[in-house]
Amino acid sequence: MIYKPSQVLLTIDGVIITNWESATADYKEDAAETDAGSDGKVTNIVNESREAVAELTLKQTCAQLPFIRGLLNARSQIPFALLNKSDGSEAVAGPSCMVAKAPINLAKALSSNVIKIIGEMLII
């Protein structure tokens, strides 16, 4: 799903991130899959994994980039959330995530202004 700043509030380690363009979040695996046995019988299998990836596209004016780079360099476990502006409910919640990718300098990163957050998340 694609989230826009007009719809959600973005927080990383409790800090509100400003001047961003869009965010996406998706699970790495499907919620369920099937398996066919040697007898041809198909079984549905529920996948309980909540391993997910969120990608955030920042504007060049994002003042929080040094903070985000610090989290990347420290390899810190951090909370991550996208909160619905309409009612404050969580659209995406990850209590223990990590910054996996962040540009060094947004002014020079015209095509790679994406932050990648990984971890266990609940996507609603």
Q: 26: which 2 tokens?
A: 């998706």
Q: Looking up tokens 């502006």, which residue turns up?
A: 85
What is the predicted pLDDT for the residue at 124?
Answer: 85
Q: Read off the pTM.
A: 0.82
pLDDT confidence tier of residue 18, bands split at 50, 70 and 90: very high
Across the range 76-86, mean pLDDT stands at 94
Predicted local confidence at residue 32, as pLDDT: 81
- Higher-confidence residue of 107 and 20: namely 20
For residues 26-30, give the mean pLDDT: 84
53: left (phi over 0), alpha (psi -120 to 50) or beta: beta
pLDDT band at 111 (very low <50, low <70, confident <90, very high): low
